[in-house]
Structure 1
Amino acid sequence: MIVDYSFKVRWGDTDAAGIVFYPNFYKWMDEATHEFLAAIGYPSSSLYAEQQVSVPLLEANCQFKSPLLFEDKVTVRSTVVELHSKVFKISHKFFKEDEKMVAEGYEIRAWTSFKEKPKAYPIPNEVREKMMPENAETVKN
């Protein structure tokens, strides 16, 4: 599954020069992951409310290729690129409106139960099937 998450850069996302301050890319990757989960039928809020399950971040990385500026229209294209028993790696590619890639990064997250002490659990098969890159249909949000 490939999920597109689109937004416009806001003034508060930029530094004094009007260039996006780098931590915002990590914020947007986080948002894109939650959009991805919602697109495959597992919105984070419902997942936690109904099953006390969340996907805490284990690792994040981002490479910046070109700056984003105030009011740029951006699309983050997200797809799971590695799927292990309890952990998944989700890739995020940032594109400007002209389809120029301006950054790419990834997050590694664990399928975790918070019913008691936080503990990673195997990702359910029905979730895995929807996450798998082989099911590469694009969903725009």
Structure 2
Amino acid sequence: MKASHPIDISFGDCDPAGIVFYPNAFRWMDAAFHALLRDHGGHGRIARKLGALGLGVADSSARFHRPMHDGDRLEIGVHLSEWSRRSFTLEYRGMVAENLVFAGKEVRCLFTRVNGGIVAGDIAPLRELLEMTHE
């Protein structure tokens, strides 16, 4: 599964040096993930259907290759690259024109409430739902 999410970078996204403040890349990766879910009803609908609290982040990382600036058009590509029993992995590529500006990775889980706590649940129902609605 793949999606693309465009971002028009503005002055407010930048630090005093005029380059994008790096936490914005993580915010934009999250936005790209939610864009991927829209074709399947969106995050809230999926979580409710599966009786889950949500599809939360367990691990996140990014490597920055070039600075991004006010006025740049960022295109974030996201694809679901790996499934495991209790998590799935997403890979991100942030591009400005033909230049790779960052590459990111997230591991997410389907979080559920069990015995008063929150745990990573079995991911198989999510995979089935996404693959069924993706066909």
Taking structure 2 as the reference length, what is the TM-score of the superposition? 0.84
Note the C-alpha offset of 1:117: 2.9
Q: Which residue of 1 aligns with 2:64?
A: 64
C-alpha RMSD of the superposition:
2.3
Q: Which residue of 2 aligns with 1:138?
A: none
The SS at the match of 1:89 is: strand
Name stretches of at least 5 consecutive residues in structure 1 with no aligned partner.
136-141
Separation in 1 of the partners of 2:119 and 2:84?
Answer: 16
Note the C-alpha offset of 1:42: 3.9
Separation in 1 of the partners of 2:14 and 2:92?
Answer: 20
Kindly tell me: are residues 130 and 24 of structure 1, through their superposed partners in 2, closer, same or farther at Cα, counting changes over 3 Å?
A: farther
Kindly tell me: are residues 73 and 48 of structure 1, through their superposed partners in 2, closer, same or farther at Cα, counting changes over 3 Å?
A: same
Name stretches of at least 5 consecutive residues in structure 2 with no aligned partner.
none
Q: Deviations over 1:40-86 (max 9, x none)?
A: x0411223455343111111110011110012101100001111122
2:102 counterpart of 1:76: no
% identity of equivalent residues: 25
Superposition map of 1:1-141 within 5 A = 1-39=1-39, 41-50=40-49, 51-96=51-96, 98-114=97-113, 117-123=117-123, 124=125, 125-127=127-129, 129=131
- Contact 1:113–1:121 under 8 Å retained in 2: yes
Taking structure 1 as the reference length, what is the TM-score of the superposition? 0.81
- Contact 2:52–2:110 under 8 Å retained in 1: no
- Contact 2:47–2:55 under 8 Å retained in 1: no
The SS at the match of 1:77 is: strand
Mean alpha-carbon deviation: is it higher for 42-51 or for 10-19?
42-51
The SS at the match of 1:70 is: coil
Mean alpha-carbon deviation: is it higher for 10-19 or for 74-83?
10-19
Note the C-alpha offset of 1:104: 0.3
